[in-house]
Amino acid sequence: MTSDILLSVADFSVVYDVEPPVEAVREVSFTLRRGEILGLAGESGCGKTTLAYGIQRLLKPPAVITGGSALFHDESGDVVDLTRLDAEQTRRFRWDKISMVFQGAMNALNPVLPIGAQLGDVFTTHRPDLGRRERIEQCAALLDLVGVGRDRLRSYAHELSGGMRQRVMIAMALALKPQLMIMDEPTTALDVLVQREILLQISELRKAFGFSVIFITHDLPLLLEISDRIAIMRAGRIVELDTASQLYRDPQHDYTRKLLASFPSLTGERGDFVRGERAAS
């Protein structure tokens, strides 16, 4: 019987080997269930992206994984420690089992290749037996799926809006039907209406395909809306992990309470700082 757990991370640590060494991720442990959206929140520099890159073995020197494990419980029943895969095993595993939507879609997409060619590269690398005609149809179907439209297969990244580029990245991440998608600030620099559209689409796609999501952002209110559970990260550690509703109603850590308090209410009283600032002007 397939386990309900998809990913179990234990005592995972990453150090930037500089002088002096920087402990970016410190003994982080958590589990991710199948079909779950796990939000990962915290201030800039707290280690969120380093943790995600470490799990996927995307870190580059001077970053070094110094301890812990990241066990992937494949739907086949196999359990794979991602930290022990060699380079070729990691290459085959990435995108097929775990995919990633990187922060800054314009930088993640190749500016000199059309969108169709970049989507096609995923199939060429991981599904080499797929014929050219079938590969093109798969790419077209992916663009239709994320609401970009197959007529954009020949378009370049600079010809697309920010929201469309982000949707292309989501299409690329979905191409091989992975079991886990890691999304690093996927709505950064997008206006609120486009953010809403993309978040709704992620939710619909997750329900349709059953993949799990690790959603990284500093925007805690956004995570409260879309996540099943939320992990709060500070200075390389997870300081609190709970369901979204419980974390909102009864945060246990002082840092979580401060994060929640840092977002102004649309209906409540203005804080002393705002009133003081206004009075001084």
CATH number at residue 199: 3.40.50.300
The pLDDT of residue 3 is 76
Q: Residue 191 CB: number of other CB atoms within 10 A?
A: 10
Per-residue pLDDT tens for 21-76? 999 999 999 999 999 999 999 999 999 999 999 999 999 999 999 999 999 999 99
Alpha-carbon distance of 247 to 238, in angstroms, equals: 14
The pLDDT of residue 281 is 35
Has residue 140 been placed in a domain? no
**Adjacent-strand bridge partners of 237:** 234
Alpha-carbon distance of 42 to 240, in angstroms, equals: 11
CA atoms within 13 A on the CB side of 120: 16
Has residue 121 been placed in a domain? no
Look-up: residue for tokens 């590969």?
135
Strand order, beta sheet including 63-73: 22-33, 5-16, 63-73, 79-81
Question: 207 and 239 in contact (C-beta within 8 Å)?
Answer: no
Alpha-carbon distance of 262 to 2, in angstroms, equals: 41
Question: What single-letter amino acid sits at 128?
Answer: P
**Adjacent-strand bridge partners of 81:** 71
**Count of domains forming the chain:** 1
Question: 25 and 47 in contact (C-beta within 8 Å)?
Answer: yes
Question: 31 and 8 in contact (C-beta within 8 Å)?
Answer: yes
Chain centre distance of CA 273:
34
Alpha-carbon distance of 53 to 47, in angstroms, equals: 10
Has residue 272 been placed in a domain? no
Residues 6+ apart with CB under 8 A from 68: 9, 10, 11, 12, 13, 27, 28, 29, 83
Residues 6+ apart with CB under 8 A from 57: 82, 83, 85, 90, 94
Has residue 188 been placed in a domain? yes
Which parts of the chain have pLDDT scores under 70?
1-2, 105-106, 265-281
Please give the DSSP secondary-structure letter assigned to residue 269: P
Question: 10 and 83 in contact (C-beta within 8 Å)?
Answer: no
Has residue 199 been placed in a domain? yes
The pLDDT of residue 223 is 92
The pLDDT of residue 16 is 97
The pLDDT of residue 274 is 39
Neighbour-count burial of 16, counting CB atoms closer than 10 A to its CB (0-12 exposed, 13-18 middle, 19+ buried): middle
List the one residue out of 257, 210, 219 whose CA is nearest residue 48.
219
The pLDDT of residue 280 is 37
Has residue 216 been placed in a domain? yes
Has residue 111 been placed in a domain? no
Has residue 194 been placed in a domain? yes
Domain span holding position 246: 5-104+182-265
